[in-house]
Amino acid sequence: MEVFDYKGICLKRDKRAIYLDPSSGRPDGAVSHGHSDHLRPKTHMTKPTKDVMIARTGSKDATTHNFNEKFKINDFELEFVSAGHVVGSAMINCEGVLYTGDYNPYGTVTAGVAKPQDCDTLIVESTYGKPNQILPDRNEVLSDLQAWIMATSAKEGAIIGAYSLGKAQEVIATANLGGVTPVVSDVVASVSDIYKKNGVRLEYNTYTELTEKEQQTAELLVTSTTAANGKKKDEAVQNMRRRGAKTARVSGWCAFSDWALRSVDAGFPVSDHSDFSGTMKFVEECNPKQVYTVHGSTKELAKEIRKQLGINAQPLPKYGQASIEKYN
């Protein structure tokens, strides 16, 4: 089997090929999860990912499969296994090749965990692929976040900005653990409803469905990052700001970048991606012969995998480039 970057991640054997997270919708493609840089219609996906696609794009065109259930595309045998990133997110197993998609080996409150799988070839994402990109302990940050929510929402009120698919649900679950039921934006509600449909317990109220009096007394608002930082005009945010509400951002980038802390009162570095040390451990436990890195700091991560683990590693080659791996 050959593996290279062509219209997505292309797996090719003889004259047949399949495409993982393809650049456009196609029936011989399989997608890992519902974030827009990965999601394409007319492909194979998990059922919750299809729900996300319907909510976000309106398209219903997909072939769905359960987790841990083998299926075939073009005579390739595939399987979706949990990626622990967002609802429905999958790593894709295909005959000795494992593609992580976006993955989180530390686990989430609301979307499971990515477990290492034995494989010959590992295609791993490199969002936090630089050796200094190590996140603080996830559970500790979540308990800090919970404490901030409980203290702030009871006083001046709290606004939290987070990605509406994945991070917002971790925030809602954390608030619920502290006994707080947040008010959420329409977009956050539509995605959170999919989590509930898939058995995740989340309690929240949608801002636009509240009475005016309830809107005036909301204690915690969970909304998109752009609405929370005032870049997008948003009635709910303005309402709470007028009452002196404090604003926080929940994003892995809060640990690494000044821009992530600009125009907010607090930042909590919770990520739905692996960090550098999580990835090194994950790669070691998958015990592959060859690693290809994709998305983000691909060169840096490949270099460290070669150096620290002694495993062949390089950024995923483009079609036609030398050093395409062959086996079988």
> Which positions lie near Zn ion, rule CB under 5 A?
35, 37, 102
Rank residues 102 and 170 by Cβ distance to Zn ion and give the closer one: 102
C-alpha span between 114 and 100 (Å, rounded) = 8
Rank residues 35 and 56 by Cβ distance to Zn ion and give the closer one: 35
Give min distance, CB of 36 to Zn ion, in A.
Answer: 9
Give min distance, CB of 60 to Zn ion, in A.
Answer: 21
- Closest to 30 in 3D by CA, of 9, 60, 59: 9
Contact predicate 135/127, CB 8 Å: no
Rank residues 37 and 258 by Cβ distance to Zn ion and give the closer one: 37
Rank residues 102 and 304 by Cβ distance to Zn ion and give the closer one: 102
Count Cβ atoms within 10 A of the Cβ of residue 143 and give its class: 0-12 exposed, 13-18 middle, 19 or more buried. Answer: middle
Quote the distance between the C-alpha of residue 122 and its chain's center.
19
Give min distance, CB of 82 to Zn ion, in A.
Answer: 14
Amino acid identity of 268? F
Give min distance, CB of 55 to Zn ion, in A.
Answer: 16
Rank residues 125 and 219 by Cβ distance to Zn ion and give the closer one: 125
Give min distance, CB of 242 to Zn ion, in A.
Answer: 34
Rank residues 44 and 295 by Cβ distance to Zn ion and give the closer one: 295
Q: Is 166 left (phi over 0), alpha (psi -120 to 50) or beta?
A: left
Give min distance, CB of 252 to Zn ion, in A.
Answer: 12
Residues 96-108: b if buried by 16+ CB within 10 A, e if exposed: ebbbbbbbbbbeb
Rank residues 35 and 246 by Cβ distance to Zn ion and give the closer one: 35
Give the count of beta carbons closer than 10 Å to the beta carbon of residue 282.
Answer: 20
Give min distance, CB of 35 to Zn ion, in A.
Answer: 3
Antiparallel, parallel or unpaired: β 62-65 and 29-30: unpaired
Measured over the CA atoms of residue 265, residue 269, residue 271 and residue 276, the dihedral's sign is positive
Rank residues 79 and 102 by Cβ distance to Zn ion and give the closer one: 102
Give min distance, CB of 167 to Zn ion, in A.
Answer: 10
C-alpha span between 53 and 47 (Å, rounded) = 10
C-alpha span between 138 and 121 (Å, rounded) = 29
Kindly provide the residue ranges of all beta strands, DSSP E only, lying in 75-210, ordered along the sequence. Answer: 76-82, 90-94, 97-99, 121-126, 158-161, 183-184, 205-206
Rank residues 48 and 157 by Cβ distance to Zn ion and give the closer one: 48
Structure tokens given for 137:
């302990």
Give min distance, CB of 65 to Zn ion, in A.
Answer: 19
